[in-house]
Amino acid sequence: MNVVETSGLGKRYGSTWALRECTLTVPAGHVAALVGPNGAGKSTLLNLAVGLSAPSEGAVTVFGGRAAGSPAALDGIAFVAQDTPLYKNLSVADMIYVTRNLNRRFDVSYARARLADLGIPPKRKAGRLSGGQQAQLALTLALARRPKLLVLDEPVAMLDPVARHDFMAAVMTAMAADGVSVLLSSHVLAELERVADYLILLSQGRVQLAGEVDDLLASHRLLTGPAAEVDRHAGRPVVHAGRAEAQAHLLVRATGDDPVPPGWAARAPSLEELALAHLREPGTVALQGSGRDQGAQTSEVTQ
């Protein structure tokens, strides 16, 4: 089952397209990372998927065909927005009470037990909690809804490294224990490398790359060699070329058993190297699904 599926999805604000011609599928059972620069359309895509916004064109469905924003869809989705919205003047206990009464399904015992384990006092006002505690409170309220899909928009952007690690560890625990699928937007590529097994790259409102991380990494190679010889490899499917004074780094799409050029070294890229190369390259073709099955063409797309 696909937890999110879009077809020709687009969202326009006035004359500006925030998202355009977005067609992708996000299978269940993954931590899917949504990556892109500011203004790429990440928050727009998430808002469309959870039903907070209506598309200008195309369609988006969840859970194998349910319309985004429908009661059947909303029952299975929990959303934590970028600024972890909480009622700052309400106590933690009051936040549990309010959230319970706004949702048809809410596990109060789970919420109280989890917050107690985290040492978050029930009588303290939400606005008096640390940034990490506020993020954990928002996550707890989301998980207590027992969702099938947890959507997170830049959940760790304002957190320190320890709070960031603890937050993502809690997300992974929920996924392992309850089978929750996760779709998260983040700028912290190093953090995503540890948790994400599905990747979606957005740039200027369009999908640049999408698929399982293992497949995408297996379909690329990072070549390192003399900068003076870069032009000899112009015929290769180069995604991005980085040159220093004496050395060059080429991220290329692997096409079978390509021999490594003499004097060059080859290795698999990291997730961060793969994402940055595709986001920096203005001629990236949109890929979807298994990276091993994609072609090696490029097109002129202005980033």
* Span 180-234, pLDDT tens digits: 999 999 877 877 888 899 999 998 888 989 999 999 999 999 988 888 877 776 5
pTM: 0.85
CA 260 to chain centre: 33
Residues whose CB falls within 8 Å of the CB of residue 31, separated by 6 or more in sequence, listed in order: 171, 172, 175, 181, 182, 184, 195, 196, 197, 198
Give the model's pLDDT for residue 256. Answer: 67
* Residue 79 to residue 249: CA distance in whole angstroms: 39
* Residue 103 to residue 113: CA distance in whole angstroms: 19
Adjacent-strand bridge partners of 266: 223
Give the model's pLDDT for residue 111. Answer: 96
pLDDT (tens, 9 = 90+) of the chain, 303 residues, equals: 999 999 999 999 999 999 999 999 999 999 999 998 888 899 999 999 999 999 999 999 999 999 999 998 999 999 998 777 789 999 999 999 999 999 989 999 999 999 999 999 999 999 999 989 999 999 999 999 999 999 999 887 778 888 888 888 988 988 888 889 999 998 778 778 888 999 999 988 889 899 999 999 999 999 888 888 777 765 678 888 887 778 888 888 887 667 787 888 889 999 989 998 888 864 444 444 433 333 333 222 222
Give the model's pLDDT for residue 144. Answer: 95
Residue 176: Cβ within 10 Å count: 9
Give the model's pLDDT for residue 82. Answer: 78
* Residue 39 to residue 175: CA distance in whole angstroms: 29
Residues whose CB falls within 8 Å of the CB of residue 299, separated by 6 or more in sequence, listed in order: 283, 284, 285
Give the model's pLDDT for residue 235. Answer: 63
Only one residue has tokens 């109280």, namely 112
**Residue closest to 301 by CA, chosen among 204, 199, 201:** 204
Q: How far is CA 170 from CA 143, 144, 179, 189, in A?
A: 10, 13, 13, 18
Task: Say which DSSP state 176 is in.
Answer: H
